Structure 1
């Protein structure tokens, strides 16, 4: 079981397919980076995803299940393929000799903005939570050392996210836990992580 499986349980049942569609694309982009032995070829594969997602706004999806899911679950909720395609920028920079951390963080803010739209909620610090999550996932994918995220943690201390957003911001709660335990990397979906998600569900606090 993954952390994502635990978090998904907190999403409204009717929105779980949309959750799967959005995060499934993020996973697909991540897998390209993880499995690419040559940066140039990895960039080409990522460009295919970016272009295929953008084309969804004007054409039927090709025979790729994750693209079909975007068309079926996200378009109807006002999230375009072009907007989902913007996630690619935060992954492709990891193929550079010196990745741009702002672009990595930008992927998190875009991902959380779309997920928050699905949940119908907003918060002034949702972008900060997204940045924290982005840094954490890069570390968990083995794509770089844990960014200490000092600024993000400081901004989130004591902040209560609204209940409507907690099925999403629980991911930031787990990322904060990872930062505090670095360089140790805790296994996913442990009882401790499940308890952290439950605490966040009740109180809405990330740090």
Structure 2
């Protein structure tokens, strides 16, 4: 995969944790990692707009058409899409479909219980982390890390504290398991290390990434 960075895709929209994690990505894969995180945030923006769920569904369907169905008639001139078409490895469409489905679950007006949260985590978190780790042979570790990170991230951004607490419960029920050990997967390992203490303690990360989490990231990076 030729992952030469496209300067038209800016780092500016990335939230703090993904920006920091990029520093630990292999140089030849950094553009791909960046693109995956940016895609996740673009999909998040669709859902966060709120309003009529039908509008969100239409916007998510557009991403399906471009990334999954590979409709060449759409997305031309969109920097993220152009870079995707330039560097996405084989099989990325199926992984992107899972990621989109995860956000589609959050766009639904239906209430979320433990089963729905587990499905969301498998789709968004598992889809995103497997997308970043394209070609890795550590599927189960990558999937678990993704699920737990997605539930932790959700807990830190929803206004419903009961739902946030339930998300952490669902993450905790999955157990620690083995973290992704491949050197190329260090950013995913670090993301899990940042989230895991909150999951174990049941501490809702109000406001998302904080100085406390930054300290965890630095310590985990030193440990490898």
TM over 0.5: yes
Instruction: Please list, as runs of the form range in 1=range in 2, the aligned pairs for 1:55-204 lying within 5 A after superposition.
Output: 55-56=69-70, 61-74=75-88, 77-96=89-108, 97-99=110-112, 100-106=116-122, 107-117=124-134, 120=136, 122=138, 124-142=140-158, 145-146=163-164, 147-148=167-168, 149-152=171-174, 154-156=175-177, 159=178, 161-164=180-183, 165-179=185-199, 180=201, 182-185=203-206, 188=209, 190=211, 192-203=212-223
Q: Which of 31, 44, 49 in structure 1 is aligned with 2:58? A: 44
Contact 2:17 2:209 in 1 (8 A): yes
Query: Can you give the 5+ residue segments of structure 1 that lack an aligned partner in the other structure?
Result: none
Separation (CA, whole Å) in 2 of partners of 1:83 and 1:162:
21
- Aligned match of 2:8: none
Root mean square deviation, CA, Å: 2.6
Instruction: Specify the alignment match of 1:5 in structure 2.
Output: 19
Q: Is the contact made by 1:8 and 1:167 (CA closer than 8 Å) also made in structure 2?
A: yes
CA drift at 1:88 = 1.0
Larger deviation: 175-184 or 109-118? 175-184
TM-score (norm 1): 0.81
RCO greater where, 1 or 2, for CA within 8 Å and sep 6 or more?
Answer: 1
C-alpha contact 1:109 1:126 (8 A) present in aligned 2: yes
Residue in structure 2 matching 1:20, options 15, 22, 34: 34
Matched residues in 1 for 2:217 and 2:94: separation? 31
Give the structure-2-normalised TM-score: 0.75
Aligned residues: 197
In 2, Cα distance between the equivalents of 1:160 and 1:86?
21
